[in-house]
Structure 1
Amino acid sequence: MSKRYAEEVLRRFGMLESNSVHNPTVPGMKIHGDAEVVPVDETYYKQIVGSLMYLTSTRPDLMYATSLLSMYMARPTELHLQIAKGVLRYLKGTICLEIFYKKSIQLKELEVYTDGDYAGDNEDRKSTSGYVFLFNSGVVAWSSKKQPIITLSTTEAEFVVATVCLSSYLDEEDTQSA
């Protein structure tokens, strides 16, 4: 299902025959709201980002780039559109990827990975938190969002990520026990 929809998205935006890339965004890239003054069609840009958002349900690898692009939906520029097309080129090269849940008799322990991007937003200097929960090698929950506070160091940003991740896990535990 995900592969068919991904092909439809690439066809819709004229990227089906494009060259693929290995990363959804350039590692370490910073986007500014006023980096370029050349505006683009808001509706077209929103359609691309909305399609990518729908894909994130089975493609968590697109989550960071998609959430980054969604911050500029009010006034997208040529730079933002180029980055969105880069994500579509990544999708082209990884079209067969999606979440796969293996049937397993043995229950493994929950695996959790976290990461933080210290002061990643150049406009307000807030960091980005990200985490993913895996169970039997399948992703069961993930998040990537801007931290609510301004941290003063990379260590503090990583502690905030760990705290957000743990509170999300504990909230889920409380929901299941109720």
Structure 2
Amino acid sequence: MENCNPVSTPAECGLKLSKDDKGEKVNSTEFRSLVRSLIYLTCTRLDILYADGLVSRYMVAPTMSHWNAAKRILRYIKGDVDDRKSTTGFVFFVGDTTFTWSSKKQPIVTLSTCEADKHIDTRYHFLRECVEQKEVMLKYVKTEDQIADILMKPLMQDVFVKMRTPLGVMKN
């Protein structure tokens, strides 16, 4: 991949991968090795977290489309010559600083709105108490400024580039 053409985002916008992909199978040992390396890299490259999580779902029986998605992450890294500062970092901020983050695939499908409402209700009351005790301050964030989107879905290039700076991955 040393001579690859760089790309501006780690995941193609609108990409749909599937475990039932009937495409050409690839060497699963090589695929797992690549994905493990990419996952290790997320310690300092929060901007590739979503794409890594996506390809890591297919380590058992990878196909050429999964391989190409993993290689795209390498092409993105190749094109990025900026600072690679470590970032700890849901995206929660203290002031303008990211202090913790998380991105994970949900373990179960919610079968009823009642199940979801019980979880929301519990979190709502917990957060309300924290606000009342002045332990946290909640701040409204417009949809287009949702920095956590970089952790959960592929974004258009301009949105992706905009979201890296607040995370501390890139300098202004």
TM-score (norm 2): 0.58
Change (3 A) 1:98 1:134: farther
Count of equivalent residues: 119
CA shift, 1:96, in A, is: 2.6
CA shift, 1:89, in A, is: 0.3
* Cα distance in structure 1, aligned partners of 2:68 and 2:30: 12
Aligned residue identity for 1:144: S
Retained in 1: the 8 A contact 2:6–2:75? yes
CA shift, 1:98, in A, is: 2.3
RMSD: 3.1
Retained in 2: the 8 A contact 1:38–1:77? yes
* Cα distance in structure 2, aligned partners of 1:34 and 1:76: 10
2:82 matched to which residue of 1? 96
1:144 matched to which residue of 2? 103
Matched, 1:55 2:41: yes
Retained in 1: the 8 A contact 2:91–2:98? yes
Matched, 1:77 2:63: yes
2:146 matched to which residue of 1? none
State the SS of the aligned residue for 1:146.
Answer: coil
Percent identity among equivalent residues? 39
Retained in 2: the 8 A contact 1:24–1:90? yes
Change (3 A) 1:137 1:16: farther
Aligned residue identity for 1:133: F
1:132 matched to which residue of 2? 91
Structure with the larger strand share: 1
TM-score (norm 1): 0.56
State the SS of the aligned residue for 1:26.
Answer: coil
Retained in 1: the 8 A contact 2:23–2:65? no
Structure 1 runs not aligned, ≥5 long: 1-14, 102-111, 113-130, 174-178
State the SS of the aligned residue for 1:75.
Answer: coil
Q: Deviations over 1:116-139 (max 9, x none)?
A: xxxxxxxxxxxxxxx223446554
Retained in 2: the 8 A contact 1:69–1:80? yes
Retained in 1: the 8 A contact 2:28–2:61? yes
Change (3 A) 1:38 1:99: same
